[in-house]
Amino acid sequence: EIVLTQSPGTLSLSPGERATLSCRASQSVSSSYLAWYQQKPGQAPRLLIYGASSRATGIPDRFSGSGSGTDFTLTISRLEPEDFAVYYCQHYGSSPFTFGPGTKVDIK
C-alpha cells in the first residue's frame, strides 16, 4: 500500500500570496497517477489536478501541479479568497487508492 504524507498540515497565508503544498509517497507512484482535490467546508471534494500536472476542466491556471516518483507539489500562484480550503493528494495507479491526510490553507 502506498502511504501519502502531506505537508504542512496547515498553511496560513494572505490573499495574493503563493501557496506551495507537498505530497510525498512511500513508494514511487507509477506513471504519475497522482491527483489533487480541493474541499471546502460542507462541500464534496473537487478535482483540481490529475496525472500530477494536468489541470481539470474549469480549474484556473493559478493552480499547477508538478513532481514525479515520490515527490509532488501543488502550487497556487496567487491565493484568491475562494482558495482557502483543504487540499488532498491521492494516488490512483493501483488499489488501494489512498488519500493523503490533507493540507488546510487558511487565512492569515
Partner 1 sequence: EVQLLESGGGLVQPGGSLRLSCAASGFTLRSYAMNWVRQAPGKGLEWVSSISNSGGSGGNTYYADSVKGRFTISRDNSKNTLYLQMNSLRAEDTALYYCAKHWASTVTTHFDYWGQGTLVTVSS
Between 22 and 98, name the residue whose CB sits nearer to partner 1: 98
- At its nearest, how many Å lie between partner 1 and the CB of residue 94? 7
- At its nearest, how many Å lie between partner 1 and the CB of residue 1? 8
- At its nearest, how many Å lie between partner 1 and the CB of residue 5? 12
3-state helix, strand, coil in the chain (%, to 5): 5, 50, 45
Between 35 and 74, name the residue whose CB sits nearer to partner 1: 35
- At its nearest, how many Å lie between partner 1 and the CB of residue 35? 4
Between 16 and 96, name the residue whose CB sits nearer to partner 1: 96
The footprint of partner 1 (CB under 8 A) covers 33, 35, 37, 39, 43-47, 50-51, 56, 86, 88, 90, 92-102
The C-alpha atoms of residue 108 and residue 89 are separated, in whole angstroms, by: 23
CA angle 43, 9, 34 (to 5 degrees): 70
Between 4 and 79, name the residue whose CB sits nearer to partner 1: 4
The C-alpha atoms of residue 88 and residue 54 are separated, in whole angstroms, by: 16
CA angle 51, 59, 19 (to 5 degrees): 80
Say if CB 65 and CB 18 are below 8 A apart. no
